[in-house]
């Protein structure tokens, strides 16, 4: 839910509650005020009549076109004592002149004259129709609410839009931010303290991440680098040992196996160094290279090496995918793709290479289940079946692609694993 919606809804809800209480309060205040005035008038009226009654002055005709009415009757002393002497009430009163009932304010007044006779006087005057008033108040409150709601909406649209501009900018910047890539500096000046703090906190945290990332890259680079000499030492010792003519077959086997393991380690090391160099963008020289030609050059060696697997390879070049790339990296790229297609293949399987002007696809048969699209490009990921891969081939491919604005995607289609390299859209 957007901030704008949340704020508008909350303010509106508050407005409803406040308006409801306010309208109740307003209604009661108005009614009290009106009653007060009406009661005063009724009292005056009643007093006039009482005075006239007591002084035996003739009473006025019941109403003088003002819809005011009075009734007076003599009551017993007990009745008089059992009732309040002054009582105000709201009641429907029949108005003779109009022939209809109307809401009225009624004052009942009990008094006695000098002779000790008790009288009950009832004076009434038409009064505000409370239902009408309630309806009117309700209507105007609803109207007010609608007006308020629209105002809130417009105010929020403006204020939230205006005041969250720095936030939007920060979010957009964060969204484009990639660790280890040159991101333009966040230029987000704002007067709002919270956003200033947010900007600072985000930048500080990213700086720390960036620093950690650099350290990690440096570490991998340095570690692989520092391993080169000890690896050479190990290998050289074994090589010297290997030339001893007195070695038995089993000793020879042990030495050679150890050497192969060291060889594996050096390969891994070389790949890590390559990845570090790719990350640091240390490959500067590039030239236009047709990947088809690279394939044509390398493929025969692969066919010879993996001849025992009896894999049939078909190439269909509809066009030539030209990339602007460091030549040794282009070989590395194609070599890794071909190796991937051969190593994870089945005996008697097939490899199809399809290329056009804007893409190149490597398809191969293999395990009849799709691979995890995310994991296959991660460092040191291997499926359980093949223990011969170091698990750095595809990460290297991905890194090379990234360096040259290429995209590599994987899909499992018609029982074949298919990798496509094409130009990035952006």
Partner 1 sequence: MKILVIEDNKELSDLIVQFLKSEHYIVETAYNYSSAYDKVFVYNYDCILLDIMLPDGNGLDLLKEAINKGIDMNVIILSAKDSVEDKVTGLQLGADDYLPKPFHLSELHARIKSLLRRANHQTGNQIRISNIVVDTDKLSIYVDNNLLDLSRKEYDILLFLINRQNHLVEKQTLAEAVWGDFIDQSDKFDFIYAQIKNLRKKLKDSGAQIEIKTIYGFGYKLITL
- Give residues with Cβ within 8 angstroms of 289, minimum separation 6: 322, 323, 324, 325, 327, 330
- For partner 1, which residue of 282, 314, 316, 405 counts as binding (CB under 8 A)? 282
User: Could you say which residues in the range 115-134 bind partner 1, by CB under 8 A?
Assistant: none
Smallest gap from residue 327 Cβ to partner 1 (A):
10
> Quick check: 231 binds partner 1 (CB under 8 A)?
yes
Helix (H) or strand (E) holding 204: helix 193-242
- Give residues with Cβ within 8 angstroms of 266, minimum separation 6: 228, 231, 235
d(CA 59, CA 50): 9
Measured from the CB atom, is 148 or 337 closer to partner 1? 337
Smallest gap from residue 356 Cβ to partner 1 (A):
26
No. of H helices and E strands in the chain?
9, 11
- For partner 1, which residue of 130, 165, 259, 411 counts as binding (CB under 8 A)? 259
> Quick check: 160 binds partner 1 (CB under 8 A)?
no
The sign of the dihedral angle between the CA atoms of 193, 197, 202, 204 is positive
Closest CA to 163 of 185, 194, 186: 194
Tokens of 340: 């991937």
Please give the torsion angle defined by the CA atoms of residues 123, 127, 130 and 131, in that order, rounded to the nearest 10 degrees: 100
List the beta bridge partners of residue 110: 120
Measured from the CB atom, is 306 or 419 closer to partner 1? 306
- For partner 1, which residue of 20, 29, 236, 405 counts as binding (CB under 8 A)? 236
Measured from the CB atom, is 327 or 415 closer to partner 1? 327
> Quick check: 283 binds partner 1 (CB under 8 A)?
yes
> Quick check: 307 binds partner 1 (CB under 8 A)?
yes
DSSP code at position 308: G
Smallest gap from residue 300 Cβ to partner 1 (A):
10
> Quick check: 264 binds partner 1 (CB under 8 A)?
yes
> Quick check: 297 binds partner 1 (CB under 8 A)?
no
- For partner 1, which residue of 240, 347, 384, 385 counts as binding (CB under 8 A)? 240
Please give the torsion angle defined by the CA atoms of residues 378, 384, 390 and 395, in that order, rounded to the nearest 10 degrees: -20
- For partner 1, which residue of 56, 229, 347, 426 counts as binding (CB under 8 A)? 229
d(CA 143, CA 150): 11
Interior angle at CA 22, CA 16 and CA 27, nearest 5: 125
Closest CA to 407 of 392, 397, 393: 397
Number of residues that bind partner 1 (CB under 8 A): 49
> Quick check: 237 binds partner 1 (CB under 8 A)?
yes
Site string for partner 1, 329-368 (x = CB under 8 A): ------xx-xx---x-------------------------
H helices present in 56-117, as ranges: 77-82
Smallest gap from residue 387 Cβ to partner 1 (A):
8
Cα–Cα distances in Å, from 165 out to 162, 234, 245, 337?
A: 6, 61, 79, 46
Measured from the CB atom, is 154 or 305 closer to partner 1? 305
> Quick check: 256 binds partner 1 (CB under 8 A)?
yes
The burial class, CB within 10 Å (0-12 / 13-18 / 19+), for 70 is buried
DSSP code at position 321: -
Using DSSP, state whether 108 is helix, strand or coil.
Answer: strand
> Quick check: 194 binds partner 1 (CB under 8 A)?
no
- For partner 1, which residue of 20, 29, 287, 328 counts as binding (CB under 8 A)? 328
Smallest gap from residue 202 Cβ to partner 1 (A):
36
Measured from the CB atom, is 155 or 255 closer to partner 1? 255
The CA-to-CA distance between both ends of the chain, in Å, stands at 30
Taking contact as CB under 8 A, which single stretch among the options 97-105, 185-193, 301-309, 350-358 is the one that binds partner 1? 301-309
Site string for partner 1, 369-398 (x = CB under 8 A): ------------------xxx---------
> Quick check: 249 binds partner 1 (CB under 8 A)?
yes
Contacts with partner 1 by CB under 8 A lie at 225-226, 228-229, 231-233, 235-237, 239-240, 242-243, 249, 252-253, 256, 259-260, 262-264, 266-267, 269-270, 273, 277, 282-283, 285, 298, 301-302, 304-308, 328, 335-336, 338-339, 343, 387-389
């Amino acid at each position: 839910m957007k901030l704008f919606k949340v704020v508008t809804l909350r303010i509106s809800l508050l407005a409803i509650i406040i308006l409801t209480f306010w309208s109740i309060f307003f209604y009661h205040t108005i009614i009290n005020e009106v009653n007060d005035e009406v009661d005063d008038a009724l009292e005056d009226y009643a007093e006039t009549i009482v005075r006239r009654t007591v002084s035996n002055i003739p009473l006025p005709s019941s109403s003088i076109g003002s819809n005011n009415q009075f009734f007076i009757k003599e009551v017993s002393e007990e009745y008089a004592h059992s009732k309040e002497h002054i009582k105000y009430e709201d009641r429907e009163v029949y108005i003779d002149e109009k022939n209809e009932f109307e809401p009225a304010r009624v004052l009942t007044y009990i008094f006695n004259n000098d002779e000790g006779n008790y009288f009950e006087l009832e004076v009434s005057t038409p009064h505000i129709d409370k239902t009408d008033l309630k309806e009117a108040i309700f209507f105007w409150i609803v109207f007010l609410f609608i007006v308020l709601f629209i105002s809130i909406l417009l105010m929020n649209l403006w204020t939230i839009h205006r005041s969250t501009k720095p936030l939007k900018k920060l979010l957009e910047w964060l969204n484009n931010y990639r660790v280890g890539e040159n991101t333009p500096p966040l230029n987000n000046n704002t007067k709002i303290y919270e956003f200033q703090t947010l900007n600072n906190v985000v930048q500080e945290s990213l700086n720390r991440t960036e620093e950690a990332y650099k350290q990690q890259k440096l570490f991998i680079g340095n570690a692989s680098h520092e391993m080169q000499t000890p690896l050479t030492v190990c290998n050289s010792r074994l090589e010297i040992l290997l030339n001893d003519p007195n070695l038995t077959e089993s000793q020879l086997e042990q030495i050679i196996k150890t050497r192969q393991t060291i060889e594996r380690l050096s390969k891994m090391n070389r790949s890590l160094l390559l990845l570090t160099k790719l990350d640091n963008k240390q490959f500067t020289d590039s030239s236009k290279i047709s990947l088809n030609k690279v394939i044509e050059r390398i493929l025969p060696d692969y066919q010879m090496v993996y001849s025992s697997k009896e894999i049939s390879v078909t190439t269909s070049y509809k066009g030539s995918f030209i990339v602007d790339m460091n030549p040794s990296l282009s070989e590395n790229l194609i070599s890794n793709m071909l190796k991937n297609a051969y190593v994870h293949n089945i005996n008697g399987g097939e490899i199809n290479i399809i290329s056009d002007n804007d893409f190149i696809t490597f398809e191969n048969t293999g395990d009849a289940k799709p691979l995890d699209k995310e994991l296959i490009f991660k460092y040191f990921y291997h499926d359980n079946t093949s223990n011969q891969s170091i698990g750095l081939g595809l990460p290297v491919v991905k890194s090379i692609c990234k360096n040259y604005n290429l995209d590599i995607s994987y899909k499992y289609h018609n029982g074949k694993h298919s990798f496509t390299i094409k130009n990035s859209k952006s």
